[in-house]
Amino acid sequence: MSETRHNWTKEEILAIYNKPMMELLYEAATVHRKNHDPNTVQVSTLLSIKTGGCPEDCGYCPQAARYHTDIEGNDLMTVSHVKAQALRAKASGSSRVCMGAAWRNVKDGPEFDQVLEMVRTINKLDMEVCCTLGMLTENQAKRLAEAGLYAYNHNLDTSEDYYKDVISTRAFEDRLETIDNVRKSNVTVCSGGIIGMGERLEDRAGMLVALASLNPQPESVPINALVAVEGTPMAEMEPVSIWDMIRMVATTRIVIPETQVRLSAGRTEMSREGQAMCFFAGANSIFAGDKLLTTPNPDVNEDMELFQLLGLQPQKPFTKISQPATVEAEDSKLHPLGEKPRWSRPGHTIERNELAKENSKLQQ
């Protein structure tokens, strides 16, 4: 395993980010192989359980009530609907369901009780459960942990210096406080950010400084490329190049070696070759499904085809860190050519039958 550092400086991280591409890729891939199985990728499905109407003013977000976008809002999903979606995700190869609600902060009451029941329900399916619900108190984090929550997502978004240019309705310190509240429970932390919002390279480095300084560091770090949505203040931003994404993924892998670097928003604009380079550079987690809350995402079948082309396997649930390639672990070998991948084998019969039952209930 690589040594975990919490005292990175912006200058050190910028020096890594700006290395010649081949040198950067080699270093990142070397760090990745020391800490993870390079042929295993954690697959999550992101589900918007409550869409739109958020009082925040995040410049990138189409769910903010103050912006005029084409997003259709919906009330909180039912537990049965969420269970059906989770079963569908599991049958497609996902090991984690991430539930997002467009709230500024969690409020105690019937809706939060309903979310807790969703967590319990998905947990019984032998899947990891993640939530992103806005700001949390220490007591709310504890209740989520007791319900079986595996991870809580709360992105820093960008550097502390650039943060005020992105959002004014919540302070950078508020995000750190929520992460601290999550850490006081036994729930793992998922926290990353977005590139392509007009930030400087120094801001990308600053965000990684903030994430690396956390002790312990986040178990998952999503790296998102801005998906510019008409009606938001960032609608006219130029798309991030694939080279910027590869550099950001590689730098994150080197700076935070034991985390799962999640290749998140913006994958629809990436070629298969670009995504493959991100996996080589250290990305070992993706979101599957046709949507990331409200923005487009590659079809799950496309992802599984890509996995098969690259010899990648979906990670089993409740695996905190993948085994290094040098360790002979169960399921670490590639599938022989022509053999059905693990996600399409008969082992999913029970889940598929239960899925059919739940879909039938929803249609009644």
Q: Give the mean pLDDT of 157-167.
A: 90
Task: Considering the candidates 170, 175, 183, 190, report the single residue annotated as catalytic.
Answer: 190
Task: Considering the candidates 61, 143, 175, 204, report the single residue annotated as catalytic.
Answer: 61
Helix, strand, coil distribution of the chain in percent, nearest 5: 40, 15, 40
Share of residues in the chain with pLDDT > 90 (%): 54
Q: Quick: pLDDT tens for 299-309.
A: 677 888 899 99
The DSSP bridge pattern shows strands 96-101 and 128-132 to be parallel
In sequence order, what DSSP letters do the residues of 210-242 get, joined into one string?
HHHHSSSPPSEEEEEE----TTSTTTTPPPPPH
Q: Give the mean pLDDT of 228-250.
A: 84
Residue of 275 and 268 predicted with greater confidence:
275
Q: Quick: pLDDT tens for 315-324.
A: 898 886 544 4
Asked whether the predicted pLDDT for residue 254 surpasses 70, the reply is yes
- CB-based contacts of 362, cutoff 8 Å, min separation 6: 80, 81, 84
Residue of 55 and 147 predicted with greater confidence:
147
Specify the pLDDT at position 187.
94
Q: Give the mean pLDDT of 169-187.
A: 92
Confidence of residue 214 (pLDDT cuts 50, 70, 90): very high
Q: Give the mean pLDDT of 51-68.
A: 63
Kindly provide the residue ranges of all beta strands, DSSP E only, lying in 165-282, ordered along the sequence.
Answer: 188-190, 193-195, 220-225, 260-263
Residue 167, token pair as written in the block: 């959002």
Residue of 150 and 291 predicted with greater confidence:
150
pTM for the model = 0.81
Mean confidence (pLDDT) of the chain: 82
Identify whether 278 is a catalytic site residue. Answer: no
Identify whether 130 is a catalytic site residue. Answer: yes
Identify whether 61 is a catalytic site residue. Answer: yes
Identify whether 131 is a catalytic site residue. Answer: no
Fold of 10-325: TIM Barrel (3.20.20)
Identify whether 120 is a catalytic site residue. Answer: no
Span between the terminal Cα atoms of the chain, in Å: 53
The Cβ-side half-sphere exposure at 198, using a 13 Å CA radius, reads: 14
Task: Considering the candidates 88, 170, 247, 262, report the single residue annotated as catalytic.
Answer: 262
Specify the pLDDT at position 17.
98
Task: Considering the candidates 88, 96, 130, 131, report the single residue annotated as catalytic.
Answer: 130
Q: Give the mean pLDDT of 149-163.
A: 93
- CB-based contacts of 113, cutoff 8 Å, min separation 6: none
